[in-house]
Structure 1
């Protein structure tokens, strides 16, 4: 049994990667809050660099991914270019290193808007959706119209 308890054991984990720790944490809080009652998918913020400044950190991303891994996959959303590149580098390393990789098996970078995609991903994962459904819901957020 995982440390998160039995209600989260089979849920897809979500990692939010931002150049700002405050942004990643705030979006995680928003997404959790909008997921509704009941079990909420495990969500981790990986924002800023290792010293707390603006930037990205492969170590923070990998640690966040491991912390939300419940065996159903890990969905990663990133805010800007270098965050995306850092996640892609970790995924490439995972493909090459297999079991010795920093990211859990089944980790996937999602092509989705950061805020809307994060909310859609957490809602879908919290409802028990598999990684493919989480990815589809997050990507669909590109089509949300505001007017």
Structure 2
């Protein structure tokens, strides 16, 4: 689980997307070679909500969203679209297709296409390892160089 009191860093990856007991974060985080902010906590408080907003807006330049079949609401989709329209952010969307029906996948493909048209990187793929590789590379490429 996350900690809403994460240390501040010059640059991190924001891990947004499906919650609801999805396991993609548990699979992805050990593969990341970069700092990240995981907004998932056991006890969601107003302080944690504030910290998530600060991390998303002020600290994490790279935003990664993973959408899985455990998604029950649509706020994560709204966050992806908000992020990709912020040209100070680099936005990635990974849709894991397993468990979605044909109509849902058609709609999610339209979201993927929209994110791409707006300058983000988006794809539908079963393999979370692909995202780990992309995020590790992106962080190395786009992070400010340490002196």
- TM-score band, normalised by the shorter chain? 0.3 to 0.5
Which has a greater percent of helix? 1
TM-score, normalised on structure 1? 0.45
TM-score, normalised on structure 2? 0.45
